[in-house]
Amino acid sequence: MAKRITPRSEDWARWYTDVVTQAKMADYSPVKGCMVIRPHGYALWENMQRVLDRMFKETGHENAYFPLFIPKSFLAKEAEHVEGFAKECAIVTHSRLKTVQADGRATIVPDPESALEEELVVRPTSETIIYAMFAKWVQSYRDLPILINQWANIVRWEMRTRLFLRTTEFLWQEGHTAHATHQEAEEEALRMLDVYASFAEEYMAVPVLKGVKTEKEKFAGALRTYCIEALMQDNKALQAGTSHDLGQNFARAFDLRFQDEAGDWTFAWNTSWGVSTRLVGAIVMAHGDDNGLVLPPRLAPIQAVVVPIWKGTDPVDRILAAAREARDRLARAGIAVRLDERDSLSPGFKFNEWEMLGVPLRIELGPRDLEQGSVTTVKRPNRSKAPVPLSGLEERVPQLLEEVQREMLEAARARRDAATFTVDSWDGFRERNESTGGFLLAHFCGSSECENSIQEETKATVRCLAFGQPEEAGRCVRCGGPSPRRVHFAKAY
RNA sequence: CGGGGCGUAGCGCAGCCCGGUAGCGCACCUGCUUUGGGAGCAGGCGGUCGGAGGUUCGAAUCCUCUCGCCCCGACCA
């Protein structure tokens, strides 16, 4: 009828767009490449922020805020860094507009008189301005470590965008730290990678690979980039978070030095790490189905919805009274619960609508339920139904939500494992990559020649050198050269 | 930047080839009847057809220019 989602099997990209827009998570904005995050999408992001923020603080970090604008010269101080970002920067050149007459009508143009002496870059990431500030704050080893996080918006002028996955402006957090030793910085980078991985699995119900990026894929300016990689339902990989060991690259560029215990001047060691609103897209693509969004209970803005069902006019009052009581009791038990009292919509319509929005648990309450002194609960992912006695609501509903959370992770893990393939020949690699896609575990010599030619010919890239990948001598799937272990290849977003 | 598609009511579309003054579904409003998987009937509201120029007695429709968006590709720390 009114709203139909394009089935995943028919057109994956369209399905994704349909779900995001019809579930009211985001909408296209008047500005190309930018999106409006609507309340239902933003509430999910807020829940993610809340959990992550707590995890950052538990690991000793503090929030701060740095400016949106970065002097152009700052970006140029780290050679590799500017190389990586130069092609996607928005630049502020003027500070005023003026009205002029053109073709007989008034129009506004940048006032040439207001051209900036030094142009400003809208941050694509904040390493430069943050380490410039750190340099002012650090003199002694006693000033270290600095452990800072900021929640911010950033701008990267990508050529092609996709709601949540890659937009011109997006929201993220970026952690930036400074340490006295390389070892401490490494530990920090890995600690935050672990935070991301456990957040992805325990809250988003998205299993991830932890590993390290190749030279080609690492962050511009980093010594080493660690990442978490997830697999979406279309068998394409999504980089879900990164954590960088920046070495002393930025410290040298911004003269971030301190006097150590021996009185010697040393450059500090930095890390940076970030996740973005792209994670919202990850949840959509990891769990969604042809009925819409499926949200993990631990992050869902609405965890359960009570849908009253009545017959005739007589039992309406009794049903509504019972439904309101159920709602109130669940709310007191700490469940984010809604009661759908709208009287002009049929139950079927409401079922479909709440499923579209991804609410993990539906609680139906009709005359039949009331007679039995129970409600009917329905889990969003598989629509499995179970009666729950009214008397046991507060105990049972949280259990059901946890069951859904666990089942979603298990299902996602099963999908990923079923889409992870070991390939040993170049033909096998190409065939598998073409037919099903997914993670291809293949031997790789590590040369950039092979990495580039594999990407050119198959669009697949090395997603990461996964931790814990067993040692296994083999021959590079491309050139036959020696390889100490397999790496994960996949086509990626 | 290359290829493809699309701009007509809030949303989704038809009408365009073959010019004659705008229509369908959903949504919305009103009333009545309804409510265990997208309710029914009746009556309504709503559009300078993306913009500019041209051809014509007459343009959503034909011509020229222009703006914008979407999809695929190139690009993507």
Q: In this predicted structure, what is the pLDDT of residue A102?
A: 65
Q: In this predicted structure, what is the pLDDT of residue A105?
A: 63
Q: Mean pLDDT per segment of 10 residues, for chain A of length 493 residues? A: 71 87 86 86 96 98 97 91 88 87 70 92 95 97 98 90 89 97 98 98 97 93 96 94 96 97 97 96 94 96 96 80 96 97 92 95 95 97 97 97 98 96 94 92 94 90 95 95 95 91
Give the count of beta carbons closer than 10 Å to the beta carbon of residue A122. 17
What tens digit of pLDDT does each residue of A399-441 get? 999 999 999 999 999 999 999 999 999 999 999 998 899 999 9
Q: In this predicted structure, what is the pLDDT of residue A229?
A: 96
Residues (224-243, chain A) with CB within 7 Å of strand B atoms: 225, 239, 242
Q: Using the CB atom, is residue A17 less than 7 Å from strand B?
A: yes
Q: Using the CB atom, is residue A383 less than 7 Å from strand B?
A: yes
The nucleotide lying nearest A124 (C-alpha to C1') is B77
The nucleotide lying nearest A159 (C-alpha to C1') is B75
Q: Using the CB atom, is residue A343 less than 7 Å from strand B?
A: yes
The nucleotide lying nearest A344 (C-alpha to C1') is B35
Residues (391-420, chain A) with CB within 7 Å of strand B atoms: none
The Cα A402–Cα A197 span in angstroms is 19
Maximum C-alpha span of chain A? 86
Q: In this predicted structure, what is the pLDDT of residue A213?
A: 95
Task: Label residue A405 exposed, middle or buried (CB < 10 Å: 0-12, 13-18, 19+).
Answer: buried
Say how far A108 CA is from B48 C1', in Å: 26
Q: Using the CB atom, is residue A105 less than 7 Å from strand B?
A: no
Say how far A159 CA is from B63 C1', in Å: 34
Q: Using the CB atom, is residue A315 less than 7 Å from strand B?
A: no
List of domains in chain A: 12-89+124-287 (3.30.930.10), 91-122 (no CATH), 304-400 (3.40.50.800), 420-490 (3.30.110.30)
Q: In this predicted structure, what is the pLDDT of residue A379?
A: 98
Q: In this predicted structure, what is the pLDDT of residue A186?
A: 97
What tens digit of pLDDT does each residue of A81-116 get? 998 888 888 889 999 888 877 665 667 788 889 999
Q: In this predicted structure, what is the pLDDT of residue A83?
A: 87
Chain centroid offset of residue A54 CA: 17
Say how far A347 CA is from B15 C1', in Å: 37
Q: Using the CB atom, is residue A24 less than 7 Å from strand B?
A: no
Q: Using the CB atom, is residue A322 less than 7 Å from strand B?
A: no
The nucleotide lying nearest A372 (C-alpha to C1') is B36
Which CA distances in Å does A71 have to A68, A118, A290?
A: 10, 7, 47
* DSSP per-residue codes, A367-425: HHHHHHTEEEEEETTT--EEEEEGGGHHHHHHHHHHHHHHHHHHHHHHHHHHTEEE--S
Are the C-beta atoms of A180 and A261 separated by less than 8 Å? Answer: no
Q: Using the CB atom, is residue A247 less than 7 Å from strand B?
A: no
Q: In this predicted structure, what is the pLDDT of residue A483?
A: 96
SS3 A158: coil
The Cα A257–Cα A271 span in angstroms is 15
Are the C-beta atoms of A189 and A245 separated by less than 8 Å? Answer: yes
Say how far A102 CA is from B54 C1', in Å: 23
The Cα A119–Cα A389 span in angstroms is 66
ipTM over 0.85: yes
Q: Using the CB atom, is residue A468 less than 7 Å from strand B?
A: no
